[in-house]
Structure 1
Amino acid sequence: MESENSSAVTAFEGHTPFALAEPVRANNDLGLVRQLMLHTREGIVLMDARGRVLEVNPAFCCHCELDADSLKGRHLTHVSQGRYQGRFYRRIWQRLQFRGHWEGEVEHLTGQGEVATHWLMLRLIRDEAGLISHIIGILDNISRLRQSEERLSYLAHHDSLTGAANRAFLLSWFARIKCDLHPDEQLALLFIDLDRFKPINDGFGHGVGDQVLKTLAGRLRQQVDANEMVARIGGDEFVLVWRMSGGEEQPLLERAARLLENMEAPVSAGHHQLSVGASVGISLYPRHGLEIETLLRYADTAMYEAKTRSQARISLFDSASFARLELRSRLAREFHEALARRQLFLEYQPRLDVESGRIVGAEALLRWRHPVLGLVPPDDFLPAARNAGLLGRLAEWVFGEAARQSQDWRRQGWQGRISLNMRGLEPELEQQRILRLLDILREHGAEPADFELELRSDFIMRRSDSLLRVLSAFRQAGMGVYLDNLGDGRLNLRLLQQLPVDGIKLDRRLFAEAFEDYERAVIRALLLLAGTLGLEAVACGVENREQLAFLQEHGCHLIQGRLVAPPLAPAQVPAFMAGCPAPAGSAGRD
């Protein structure tokens, strides 16, 4: 409250007082009053009708960091040391005249340059004629209370581990910031998913995992300025919001590439140097949407594209992404009906032992024949099943249908194994649904030993010890376990030695049209590795006799692919088995 501010002084001195409340008469026992003022914790100030200080107690001097002599005779506005303008004091004076009292927060700068917050209560004292004789003020320091409230507010709006904003604060902040944009500005919303965090968290413990998260969150904060945002919205998921001018995408993608390069740098955690990395999906306001929930959904979709299809691990949401998202949303809505109306079915691709010429197994492949869209590929409907919360029911259906088919073929005399391709259904195994899935096989009269599980090598290589225990339990029940898509997915040689698996499946991409030196070298290396570890090897996607001869030369005698047969309907399998050619060197069909 500034004494040199003439408008502020006028606000207290230039008005004719009038009576509204019942007069408050001063106590004549001034000695008792002075004793009370001397010993109370609250600061007390007595002013004349114009707001000039007459008396202050020691607590008031302590709160304001001013001595009594420097206060007496000065206007009360002197205390605030210029933090407020005249209109602030005029509002106080108007409220005092209207109600006879005012209270609220006031601030002043301490000797250390910090802002101290006080709660000030003012009350008019009137004489018998109803005119203002004095103004009394009571001052209490609430700086610690405000600091506690600010801390609680911070904790309510920020992630306690990383210090990044939480989802609730991101939503409220976004609603404000988008209203402040200039016409040529837009917001880029980046959905960031850490690529290799879960195996680090599982393998090194949550303490190391937390340290990694804090370090990476700090790096993300370095990528934003005061008008931008970093939020943590999931275990290893972050959102950045960048404010940018113009509509060109290249500067945005270049900035995102620098961010990824920064995230890829090793993190020091204890005695470990750990590399995590990330994938980024980007949506733009207002180009792609006006609401943040929509933009988050679009950025998440783009991030999924980056993780599965983009070599740069950065993907900008576009019309093709929108079409895929719409399709996924539609399929998610209709997947309940697909299960209820038996639109799902299994096809079986035979596995040939080229040495004996016998069909020794068949891989069960999940299909959906949509009444309008036709045959929907698994890469489209499995995310839909996950979004619909039906992966569990789908896994149970696959086990039940394969068990029923296995029993039917056994009654016809075929004793081979059915391989259950669990691509996209692996999370259900992580949920440790072992007993239920094994019971389903037995309910149909089948034995676990009649089946194999195929799981993506990418999935197993990055998953936790709990999944490995699940796989061990399936093997103990008699089921075989195979790593799928080796040669294309992730491979950790040290972990491969420890995995509870029986064999590997060479990825069909190795047998594409260009079967050249690189593919041959990878296949030789994988076959040698399998032989060293005592694992069975199955070649998938074998297309011609040249590939077959190469496989036989290097000791691989189990094959699948169009050279043997395409995926078949269940009713076609018995006839195919009966007519399957026997010569090892010429097995299959062109």
Structure 2
Amino acid sequence: MDDTLLLTTLNAGVRAGSESVQERAATSLNLTRQIMHHTREGIVLMDPRGRVLEVNPAFCRLSELDAADIEGCHLTRINEALHERRYYRDIWLRLQQQGDWQGEVQHHNRDGQLVTHWLILRLVRNHDGRIVYIIGILDDISRLRQSEDQLSYLAHHDALTDTANRTFLLSWFDEVTAAIAPPEPLSLLFIDLDRFKPINDSFGHGVGDEVLKVLAARLQTRIDANDMVARIGGDEFVMIWRGTLTRTELMTRAAALLEQIQRPVLVGGYELSVGASIGISFYPEHGRDIDTLLRYADNAMYQAKRCGGTKVCLFDGVQLSYLEQQQRLTTEFHRALEEHQLFLEYQPTLAVDDQRLISVEALLRWRHPELGVLYPDQFLSAVKAAGLLLPLAEWVFTEAARQVGLWQQQHHWQGRVSINLSGLELEQQKVGRLLALLQRLGVAPEHFILELCGDFMMRRSESLTGMLNGLRDAGIKMFLNNVGRGRFNFNKLGQLPIDGIKLDHSLLTARFDELDRSIIRSLLLLSRTLGIGVVACGVEHEEQMRFLRQYGCDAVQGRLLASPVGPHELDAVIAASGAADAGGDYSIPCNDS
């Protein structure tokens, strides 16, 4: 109902002076009562003190009170159990100052449920400005509030697992940390499921979703009302435990959590089991904002995965120093390029049969003015964070091409230089830029070998295969790096456009047991069948050399025969090896052995 119409009508009655005006006022009042009787909003008419003079049926329905029980009573009596006297004093003050008030009021219905109404109060004054009536209009907004609450819940919770989502996690953390002073310790657990992807791949996403639901429910049993669990990614969860815990208590509780996660899950007749790698950071010890804590806990989680998974790893000072150094290197790498702090060393690749120099591997180094010589595994993640992987690859190609040109001029050496671009996400435009760079430098592509990580090659699509074929057609040879470590699909090896493989140095450990030997024999036999070359990396003992020669390995790299050297030292190796005219059909990647 339009309360303006009601107020106008009442004012007309107040201003009545003559008999004819009173008759018109009576007619208007009758009309007003008819409107009050039929409208869905509750309407209450009160005297200046707030005593109820009249209510309409809708008001009785909404308040669940009879008119006889309301009329003559003060309006505050209806909700006196839910609101303090100060609440009504504030309303009366607002009415006196502004002539109106509106807001939420609540009461318990006959079923004991809390019902929310929207109440509008207006003062009605006569021509002298004296208050003669207070009129209230009541509307039930419980369903609206329920809808808003439901929408809010959906916006802040994961639809699949019913845990909190990232948005709610962030707001919850801000509220909790703002409310606790001095800072209350919090333990943030970054939980990444192990062995979950094979379940999705083998049994389908429907089964995978059911597994996630069960595991999320188990996680929620490990928290109380003050804690938090949220799903922030496909199989990634974050749990926050409040309160002071000793390291022993924390690890005991985390171990129990791991055991809970590892229990088999029964879905669709299948008994499925996953594990979890957990990294933990601490508030306020490691940071006061959640982004920092998440990053640190994520780093600790990856440390747990590197240790074999299904483990708990606490973020510590060593990891903090590493991350701080990575941030520093990310900032300083631009200067490293500008000030020529990067340089290449070269490690020879020698033929097994006669130790003839076949190719050299370009090894990237950073001569940091304060930290000394840094190796790729110390700064490549910083380069990636700086968005400079492609400029770095171009620098390596440029420097290696320049050196190839010098060797050709001085020694007429026709061997190849191997460059490892593992970690660089190859795209067609980037590959084209590298080929165009070689053309500008006047060095033929056939003097280069490009190495890519086995994990990278195994999981890429047909578009990558097309690009690799394009590089091979240009004359660049392709080698598969780190074979024997990480994921490896023997069936797919024959489908890859490669010229050879590099055996990872982990197969040539000091132990060099029968398992290592069996793997190497199998890879050598498979490579001969496919007609591709093999380079063994990390050869440091005569026993390893004899074994590789016996089973037909083509080439080796390692400190037993040659260590990495600068280009000037390599000049002597080239001159003394009798390899000046060698073309070299095999190569080695750019990683250190």
Aligning the two structures, in what range does the TM-score lie when normalised by the shorter sequence?
0.7 to 0.9
Aligned-partner residue type, residue 240 of structure 2: V
Aligned equivalent of 2:548, options 541, 548, 551: 551
Percent of residue pairs bearing the same amino acid type:
56
The alpha carbon displacement at 1:463 in A equals 5.6
Counterparts in 2 of 1:79-90, with a 5 A limit?
A: 79-80=78-79, 82-90=81-89
The structure-2 alpha-carbon separation of the partners of 1:48 and 1:569, relative to structure 1 and needing over 3 Å to count, comes to same
Contact 2:51 2:72 in 1 (8 A): yes
Quick one: distance in 2 between partners of 1:491 and 1:265? 29
Q: 1:35 to 1:256 in 2, by over 3 A?
A: same
Matches within 5 A, 1:38-187: 38-77=37-76, 79-80=78-79, 82-110=81-109, 114-126=113-125, 132-151=131-150, 153-154=152-153, 157=156, 165=164, 167=166, 169-180=168-179, 186-187=185-186
Report the Cα distance in structure 2 between the residues aligned to 1:443 and 1:269, rounded to whole angstroms: 60
Pairing partner for 2:286 from 280, 285, 288: 288
How far, CA to CA, are the matches of 1:305 and 1:420 in structure 2? 28
CA deviation string 1:293-341 (max 9, x = no partner): 4333432433343344566553212121122122212211111011111
Confirm or deny: 8 A CA contact 1:24 1:127 kept in the other structure.
no
**2:568 paired with 1:568:** no
| Distance across 2 between alignment mates of 1:579 and 1:288 | 56
1:516 to 513, 537, 545: 513
User: Pick from 322, 334, 337: which aligns with 1:336?
Assistant: 334
- 2: CA distance, partners of 1:230 / 1:224: 8
Q: Deviation string for 1:370-394 (max 9, x for gaps)?
A: 1221111211111111222212211
Q: Is the aligned partner of 1:526 residue 2:500? A: no
Distance 1:470 1:309, change over 3 A: farther
CA displacement 1:497-530 (0-9 Å, x = unmatched): 5544443222212223223334323323333444
Q: Which aligned pairs between 1:177-576 and structure 2 lie closer than 5 A?
A: 177-180=176-179, 186-193=185-192, 220-231=219-230, 238-246=237-245, 248-260=246-258, 278-308=276-306, 313-411=311-409, 412-423=411-422, 426-429=423-426, 433-461=430-458, 467=464, 470-475=467-472, 477-496=474-493, 498-576=495-573
Task: Report the 3-state secondary structure (helix = DSSP H, G, I; strand = E; otherwise coil) of the residue aligned with 2:413.
Answer: coil
Counterparts of 1:376 and 1:449 in 2: how far apart (Å)? 30
Cα deviations by residue, 1:399-453 (Å, 9 ceiling, x for unpaired):
3323333343344322223221224xx2432686322223223332334443333
After superposing the two structures, state which structure 1 stretch, 409-418 or 370-379, moved more.
409-418
Pick which of 501-510 and 45-54 moved more: 45-54
SS of equivalent residue, structure 1 residue 573: helix
Corresponding residue pairs, total: 558
* Cα distance change, pair 473–163 in 1 and its aligned pair in 2 (3 A): farther
Q: Match of 1:325, SS?
A: helix
CA distance in 1, matches of 2:77, 2:576: 105
CA–CA separation in structure 2 for the residues paired with 1:162 and 1:439: 51
From the superposition, tell whether residues 484 and 285 of structure 1 become closer, same or farther in structure 2 (CA, over 3 Å): same
| TM-score, reference length from structure 2 | 0.80
* Range 308-317 or range 388-397, more displaced: 308-317
Q: Provide the residue aligned with 1:17 in structure 2.
A: none
User: Unaligned regions of 5+ residues in structure 1, if any?
Assistant: 1-21, 583-590
Following superposition, the deviation at residue 181 of structure 1 comes to 5.1
The CA distance in 1 between the partners of 2:415 and 2:267, in whole Å, is: 50
Q: Deviations over 1:191-228 (max 9, x none)?
A: 34566778998999999988887776666545433322
Which letter does structure 2 place at the counterpart of 1:251?
E
With over 3 angstroms needed to count, the CA separation of the structure-2 counterparts of 1:211 and 1:419, relative to structure 1, is farther
Distance 1:323 1:299 in 2: 14
Which residue of structure 1 lines up, in the alignment, with residue 14 of structure 2? 25
Backbone CA RMSD of aligned residues: 3.9
C-alpha offsets along residues 327-368 of structure 1, whole Å, 9 cap, x if unaligned? 212211111011111111222212122235432222222111
Contact residue 219 and residue 262 of structure 1 kept, 8 A: yes
The whole-number CA distance in structure 2 between the counterparts of 1:52 and 1:464 is 79
1:457 maps to a residue whose letter is G
Pairwise CA distance, 1:542: 0.5
- CA offsets 1:113-159 (integer angstroms, 9 cap, x no match): 55433210112334567655432110123334434544554565556
Greater Cα shift, 151-160 or 58-67: 151-160
Partner-residue secondary structure (3-state), 1:414: coil
Alpha-carbon distance in 2 for matches of 1:465, 1:128? 86
What's the secondary structure of 2:318's corresponding residue? Answer: helix
Contact 1:434–1:473 under 8 Å retained in 2: no
Q: 1:53 to 1:312 in 2, by over 3 A?
A: same
> Partners in 2 of 1:420 and 1:572 — Cα distance?
19
| Preserved contact between residue 45 and residue 60 of structure 1 (Cα < 8 Å) | yes
Unaligned runs of 5+ in 2: 1-10, 16-24, 580-593
SS at 1:514 equivalent: coil
TM-superposition CA deviations, 1:21-50 (whole Å, max 9, x none): x99937542111112213334221223444
Deviates more, 1:114-123 or 1:172-181: 172-181
> TM-score, normalized by length of structure 1?
0.80
Distance, in Å, in 2 between the alignment partners of 1:51 and 1:144 is 28
Distance in 2 of aligned mates of 1:486 and 1:73 = 91
Letter in 2 for 1:380: Q
